[in-house]
Structure 1
């Protein structure tokens, strides 16, 4: 795993050099994936890496863990509280739809969660422009395969250093990077709403997703669920469809 970490660090440095930028920025949520990426970019660019904490009515424990990541790995950090910005933006959008009497309450939670992810990514790109950095994504293979990310939110980044690694491999990488135990031992959550956890929302576990991806045997119900998630979210893994004249 140490060799893998060194390979990723080399790749990060090469990517930055080829892009003619100065460094890298990542959003830090307090979860394991963003922690791993923060430690990686700090290794690659000790003086030109930045971790941004972006609370939106966030779980206080997650924010404590995010600060722990910044302090433990020594990356430069900043906090940008987006709570009021999110409330204003979502409230304005909801009011406009309600005026047309077309507001879909069933879609409210998902729309709200996706707006959080996209607002955070817009923030990262604004920060990145200031520093002439690239925005680094935190999606792993298990999330990428199932589409468990927000299109043009956490999925809208410049580079994905851990997208070829399953969740189990991310934990192994985290161990090798000496990430603090509280982050290693917590339940994975995208902090999209109060009490939300990844596995509960997906309806299966990362262990089962990892096993399926590796071609190992899983239950028929899990196989069907994972395949459906993959098929339903194929559009997220593709560039925008383009009309071709004379086609």
Structure 2
């Protein structure tokens, strides 16, 4: 028996859910980042079906990125006929790193890489505010379980329509909605640095992650990695703790 749910039913449910959430917010337009990856591609396709492609803006935000990413993002936007915009954040990123260095806090490693998704979050909200739109994110269940996202970066959105989808379901629904095959076949990557892939960075395959999330079954090594990552990243899935003063203060 497959651990994956029917892609046609998933697509129909999420189209209805998106319409409901936008109606509740009194909004009719959506803004999302498009990277040429499978998650943002599926999200864009679902938003286009639910809201109409004329009400969806996909924003390409290169930041010392590989040119191929922009080519795939443009391919997606043209295929599903959504609006697209481009904001090159490379110079902004360089200025931020230079300012940190001047202040004695030069970032490296993940601290430097995570500046990029946080700049993208700022960009999306600026565009959305001008349009009266909601910012939508493409985080899926695997990434959320592992904490494989940047706090106040790609998780800084108004809606997460794919949050309950296993990665295998993301691929299946994308295929059902005729997302370009070139995007479906791309190795998943956050594109934080050249050659980076999700599975290599996590040390797990999406097949292993899907199986564990759906059934609890995995090798002992995979279980240990997933449970450790889930525990370590718990703060990412919670609103910051808020102090409440006692009544007798």
CA contact (8 A) 2:38 2:183 kept: yes
Unaligned runs of 5+ in 2: 1-6
Q: Secondary structure at the match of 1:214?
A: helix
Question: In structure 2, what is the equivalent of residue 159 of structure 1?
Answer: 159
TM-score (norm: length of structure 2): 0.93
Alignment root-mean-square deviation, CA: 1.2
Q: Which range moved further: 228-237 or 39-48?
A: 39-48
Question: In structure 2, what is the equivalent of residue 2 of structure 1?
Answer: 8
Question: In structure 1, what is the equivalent of residue 26 of structure 2?
Answer: 20
Question: In structure 1, what is the equivalent of residue 203 of structure 2?
Answer: 203
In structure 2, distance between residues paired with 1:19 and 1:216: 36
Question: In structure 1, what is the equivalent of residue 3 of structure 2?
Answer: none
CA contact (8 A) 1:22 1:131 kept: no
In structure 1, distance between residues paired with 2:144 and 2:178: 25
- Cα displacement (A) at 1:216: 4.5
In structure 1, distance between residues paired with 2:190 and 2:219: 26
- Cα displacement (A) at 1:89: 1.0
Question: In structure 1, what is the equivalent of residue 220 of structure 2?
Answer: 220
In structure 2, distance between residues paired with 1:78 and 1:124: 11
In structure 1, distance between residues paired with 2:165 and 2:9: 14
Question: In structure 1, what is the equivalent of residue 92 of structure 2?
Answer: 85
In structure 2, distance between residues paired with 1:71 and 1:61: 15
Question: In structure 1, what is the equivalent of residue 187 of structure 2?
Answer: 187
- Cα displacement (A) at 1:45: 1.4
Question: In structure 2, what is the equivalent of residue 74 of structure 1?
Answer: 81
Q: Secondary structure at the match of 1:160?
A: coil
Once the two structures are superposed, residues 105-159 of structure 1 have per-residue CA deviations (whole angstroms, 9 ceiling, x without a partner) of xx61201111100000110000000100000010000000000000110011100
In structure 1, distance between residues paired with 2:55 and 2:186: 29
The runs of at least 4 aligned residues of structure 1 exceeding 4 Å deviation read none
Question: In structure 1, what is the equivalent of residue 244 of structure 2?
Answer: 244
In structure 1, distance between residues paired with 2:120 and 2:89: 8
In structure 2, distance between residues paired with 1:96 and 1:196: 29
Structure 1 position 43 matched with structure 2 position 78: no
CA contact (8 A) 2:31 2:136 kept: yes
Which residues of 2 match residues 140-155 of structure 1 at below 5 A? 140-155=140-155
- Cα displacement (A) at 1:97: 2.1
In structure 1, distance between residues paired with 2:174 and 2:225: 28
In structure 2, distance between residues paired with 1:240 and 1:7: 31
Once the two structures are superposed, residues 184-214 of structure 1 have per-residue CA deviations (whole angstroms, 9 ceiling, x without a partner) of 1111100001111111111111111111101
